[in-house]
A = this chain, B = another copy of it.
Amino acid sequence: MPMKKEAPNSYDVISVDDHVVEPRGVWQDRLPAALRDRGPKVVSSDDGDVWEINGGSHKITGLSAMAGKSFEEYTPKALRFNEMRPGCYDARARIEDMDTDGVDAEVLFGTLAGLAGGTFIDLAGTDPELAAACVAAYNDWLVDEWCAESPRRLIAQCILPLWDLKAAATELRRCIAAGHKAALLPGLPHVFELPGFADDRWEELFKVCEETGTPVALHIGGSIGRKQAAETMGAIGSGDGVAAESLVASAPLTNYGVLANLIFSGVPARYPKLKLVSVESGIGWMGYFLERMDWTYDRHRYWTHSPLEEPPSHYFRRQIYGTFLVDDTGIETIERIGPDNVMWESDYPHTDTTWPNSKEVIKEHFGHLSPDVKHDVLAGNAVRVYQLEEN
Residues of A within 8 A of B (CB): 71-72, 74-76, 188-190, 195-199, 231-232, 234-238, 240-246, 248-250, 252-253, 256-258, 260-261, 263-266, 282-285, 287-289, 291-293, 295-307, 312, 326-330, 332-333, 336, 351-352
Question: For the complex, what is the distance from the CA of A75 to the CA of B300, rounded to whole Å?
Answer: 9
CA distance A302 to B336 in the complex (A): 36
What are 12 residue pairs bridging A and B, where the CB atoms are less than 8 Å apart in the complex? A188-B235, A198-B236, A231-B257, A240-B305, A241-B300, A241-B305, A242-B305, A243-B264, A245-B304, A284-B292, A288-B327, A291-B328
Question: Which B residues touch A312, using CB under 8 A?
Answer: 249
User: Assembly of this chain: how many copies?
Assistant: 2
Q: How far is the CA of A195 from the CA of B234 in the complex (A)?
A: 8
**A282 to chain B: which residues have CB within 8 Å?**
288, 292
Q: Which listed residue, B71, B260, B288, touches A329 by the CB 8 Å rule?
A: B288
Q: Chain B CB within 10 Å — which of A287, A301, A326, A330 has the most?
A: A287
Closest chain B CB from A191 CB (angstroms): 8
In the complex, residue of chain B having the shortest beta-carbon distance to the beta carbon of A336: B329
Q: Are B285 and A253 in contact (CB under 8 A)?
A: yes
The 3 closest A-B pairs by CB, nearest first: A196-B237, A284-B288, A241-B304
Partner of A284, one of B198, B249, B287: B287
Task: Take A241-B305, A304-B244 as given contacts and tell me if A256 and B257 are in contact as well, using a CB distance cutoff of 8 Å.
Answer: no
Known A240-B304, A253-B257; 20 more pairs at CB < 8 Å: A76-B303, A190-B235, A197-B235, A236-B264, A238-B265, A241-B303, A243-B265, A244-B300, A245-B264, A245-B296, A245-B301, A246-B257, A246-B260, A246-B263, A249-B264, A253-B289, A282-B288, A284-B287, A291-B329, A333-B333
Residue of B nearest to A187 (CB): B235
List of B residues within 8 angstroms of A250 by Cβ: 256-257, 260
What B residues does A189 contact at CB under 8 A?
Answer: 235
